Amino acid sequence: MNTKFKNILLCHASEMGIKSICSAFDISRNTVRRYVRMYQDSGIPAEKLPSLSDARLQELFAIPGARERKPSERQVRLEALLPDYAARLSRKGMTVKKLYEEYHTGHPDGYLKASFGMKLRQFMLQTNAIGHVEHRAGDQMYIDFAGDRLEIVDEATAGIRKVEVFVAILPCSHYTYCEA
């Protein structure tokens, strides 16, 4: 149970109507009714409700017949490999497609490509913190030399020159400058 459950019960204890609770928490009336019935059957006074911990609420209001799903064997195998795959994905030249092909040769009964990619993205999102950075116009510029050196062929002499690609971005306007 979580704080939302406790807040629903507190609203009911303060004589808020079921329809009002439903719209405030964006849940169905039947769910609110079930929670209220469980609360009334428990016999806990409204004064003690705010002091109950989430663990105690879980213990008191555990839904009978509800069970936790055990992860499948292939999910356990993939989850063990995900940290290594995420680390290897940051290397130059490594792609999700290459990782999937390696995974599929070692685990032919494992996840298919779409599910593999989704599980890998979910893992990387939960491990990599994403932050929002406020930008002021003209304050900063991000620069980088992109990827491997490219080869340019001079049409007149048929000579090949290696060049680096320079990329600069103004983050506020997303104005991009690229030069080889």
Question: Which tens digit of pLDDT belongs to each residue from 83-142?
Answer: 999 999 888 888 999 999 999 999 999 999 999 999 999 888 875 555 667 777 878 888
Question: Is there a single domain that holds both residue 41 and residue 81?
Answer: no
Q: Which residues pair with 161 in a beta bridge?
A: 152
62 token code pair? 């555990």
Structural domains counted in the chain: 3
In a domain, 66, yes or no: no
pLDDT in tens, 48-87: 877 877 777 777 777 554 556 788 899 999 999 999 999 9
Q: Is residue 38 part of a domain?
A: yes
pTM: 0.44
Question: What domain range includes position 174?
Answer: 142-179
Res. 1 pLDDT band, cuts 50 70 90: very low
Q: Which of 33, 60, 87 is the last residue of a domain?
A: 60
Residue 160, domain member (yes or no): yes
